[in-house]
């Protein structure tokens, strides 16, 4: 029987795995956070909303690659190891960041410029499609049974921290370079930094310990069951569709409340870019602090009540909070409203990764976590910003608030009907 890792070793590997998650999501979110500045370089025609709509469309293209990445790299992590999947995903993210950093503008090479942007986002979509499954699986398997929810919540601590770091970098560049230089060339620095960090993390991930669950699986040799999309939906259809359903509302809310919110504060609420970035910085700091609390609560009372809290509060308060943000002119009031939205969202973000990992057996866990999540993200997460901007351009922006609310309501049904995975999960206790 595989010997469980010692506490110190377990903690070091969780930190190492989380560091990679941080860099992956910094690179991913840098695109949307810096979009206000690089949109004119790739899409020079039209007003600000039209330019943002074009960059949002490319953002959505990256999401359409995530199910493909989930299949390829989720299966890879099930067959070759969790840490092997983590190393491959960060390498692909690095290449995508380098392409964006060096891409010529539309004025220099014409339509080939946005085409390069699309290609880079496709690579990054492949990367992130596998990253979520490998990372959630690694953290959940490496954590002990007693505090699995707490440690698994650090996936979203680092996910949000990656987005926060991108925001802090934006604030620093706004202060140092100013609007003109940032728009002309300064935005490229974010992608250079992201690529360098990805190289560092690649070597960190190569040195991680493998999880006991995968070592037990590898010991089965030729007798082990195969990981494939076909086997996932044939042998575990209930769990696969449950993972899809419980993700849909959470991912729609996540991208509405974080990536789109920065643009909403500028483009709808009327705050300047620096103030909008500052509000989101403080909001995300608060959200980071809330993640371990949500995970810890789930270890004590269960994952299901935490997710039901998100579902009920999201259905009741999404429309009122966005409507209030439309008319507020106070930075303090806007921050409180943003934090309220993010506190509700924490009911999903703090526990969804461990819930999915607990649904699937060892041999298909990385794929089972990654593929339903990627499909739901493609349909409801990657398109959220585009839907919001399209409805705004059509003069029906408030319909977006109801759209997010409706998706959360569908997910709420799955939270009510699901089993309590903290007591009936499939990760072997160590």
Q: What is the pTM of this model?
A: 0.82
Q: Name the 3-class secondary structure at 330.
A: coil
* Helix (H) or strand (E) segment spanning residue 224: none
Compute CA distances 266 → 54, 279, 364, 378, whole Å: 17, 11, 43, 25
Q: Would you say how long the chain is, in residues?
A: 430
In a domain, 3, yes or no: no
Q: How far is CA 376 from the centre of its chain?
A: 12
> What domain count does the chain have?
1
In a domain, 58, yes or no: yes
Q: How many CB atoms lie within 10 A of CB 255?
A: 24
In a domain, 352, yes or no: yes
Q: Give φ, ψ of 360 to 5 degrees.
A: -120, 150
Q: What CATH number has the domain bearing residue 413?
A: 1.20.1250.20
d(CA 379, CA 64): 8
Listed in order, strand segments (DSSP E) in 209-350 are: none
Q: What's the domain range around 361?
A: 9-422
Listing DSSP states for 112-129 in one string gives HHHHHHHHHHHHHHHHHH
Compute CA distances 327 → 225, 227, 281, 321, 322, whole Å: 56, 51, 21, 11, 9
In a domain, 163, yes or no: yes
Compute CA distances 46 → 23, 31, 50, 79, 114, whole Å: 33, 20, 5, 48, 15
In a domain, 429, yes or no: no
Q: Provide the total of helices (H) and of strands (E) in the chain, helices listed first.
A: 22, 0
In a domain, 430, yes or no: no
C-beta of residue 250 within 8 angstroms of C-beta of residue 347: no
- Greatest Cα pair distance, the chain, in angstroms, is 64
Closest CA to 58 of 81, 79, 34: 34
pLDDT of 2: 47
pLDDT of 183: 86
pLDDT of 73: 84
pLDDT of 1: 43
Q: How far is CA 391 from the centre of its chain?
A: 24
Listed in order, strand segments (DSSP E) in 169-246 are: none
Closest CA to 375 of 394, 356, 355, 399: 356
Closest CA to 26 of 192, 153, 174, 179: 192
d(CA 187, CA 409): 38
**Tens place of pLDDT for every residue, the chain, 430 residues?**
445 555 556 677 777 777 778 888 898 888 878 877 887 888 776 656 666 667 667 766 777 888 898 888 888 888 888 888 888 888 888 999 999 999 998 888 887 888 888 888 888 888 888 888 888 888 877 777 778 888 888 888 888 888 889 888 988 998 898 888 998 889 999 999 999 999 998 888 888 877 777 787 777 765 667 778 888 899 889 999 999 999 999 999 999 998 889 889 998 888 988 898 889 989 999 999 999 999 999 999 999 999 999 999 999 999 999 999 998 989 999 999 999 999 999 999 999 988 998 898 888 888 888 899 989 988 898 788 889 988 988 888 899 999 999 999 999 999 999 999 877 666 665 5
Q: Name the 3-class secondary structure at 147.
A: coil
In a domain, 70, yes or no: yes
In a domain, 428, yes or no: no
């Amino acid at each position: 029987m595989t010997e469980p890792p010692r506490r110190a070793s377990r903690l070091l590997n969780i930190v190492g795995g989380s560091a990679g998650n941080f860099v992956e999501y910094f690179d991913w979110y840098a695109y949307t956070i810096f979009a206000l500045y690089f949109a004119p370089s790739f899409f020079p025609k039209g007003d600000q909303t039209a330019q943002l709509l074009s960059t949002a469309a490319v953002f959505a293209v990256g999401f359409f690659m995530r199910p493909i990445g989930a299949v390829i790299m989720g299966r890879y992590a099930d067959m070759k190891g969790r840490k092997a999947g983590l190393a491959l995903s960060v390498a692909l993210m690095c290449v995508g960041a380098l392409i964006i950093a060096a891409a010529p503008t539309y004025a220099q090479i014409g339509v080939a410029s946005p085409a390069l942007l699309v290609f880079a986002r496709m690579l990054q979509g492949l990367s992130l499609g596998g990253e979520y499954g490998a990372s959630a699986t690694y953290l959940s398997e490496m954590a002990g049974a007693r505090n699995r929810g707490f440690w698994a919540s650090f996936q979203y601590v680092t996910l949000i921290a990656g987005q926060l770091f991108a925001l802090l970098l934006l604030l620093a560049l706004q202060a140092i370079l100013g609007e003109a230089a940032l728009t002309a060339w300064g935005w490229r620095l974010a992608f250079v930094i992201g690529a360098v960090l990805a190289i560092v993390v690649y070597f960190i991930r190569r040195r991680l310990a493998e999880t006991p669950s995968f070592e037990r699986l590898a010991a089965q040799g030729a007798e082990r069951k195969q990981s494939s999309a076909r086997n996932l939906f044939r042998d575990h259809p209930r769990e696969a569709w449950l993972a899809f359903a419980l993700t849909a509302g959470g991912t729609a809310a996540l991208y509405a409340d974080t990536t789109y919110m920065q643009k909403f504060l500028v483009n709808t609420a009327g705050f300047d870019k620096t103030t909008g970035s500052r509000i989101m910085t403080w909001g995300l700091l608060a959200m980071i602090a809330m993640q371990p609390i949500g995970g810890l609560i789930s270890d004590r009372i269960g994952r299901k009540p935490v997710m039901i809290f998100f579902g009920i509060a999201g259905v009741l308060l999404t429309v009122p909070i966005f409507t209030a943000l439309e008319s507020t002119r106070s930075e303090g009031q806007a921050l409180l409203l943003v934090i309220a939205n993010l506190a509700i969202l924490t009911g999903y973000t703090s526990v969804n990764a461990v819930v999915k990992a607990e649904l699937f057996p060892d041999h298909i866990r990385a794929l089972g976590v990654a593929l339903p999540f990627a499909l739901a993200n493609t349909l409801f997460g990657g398109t959220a910003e585009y839907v919001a901007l399209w409805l705004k351009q059509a003069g029906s922006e408030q319909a977006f608030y109801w759209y997010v609310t409706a998706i959360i309501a569908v997910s709420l049904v799955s939270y009510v009907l699901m089993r309590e995975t903290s007591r009936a999960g499939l990760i072997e206790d160590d």
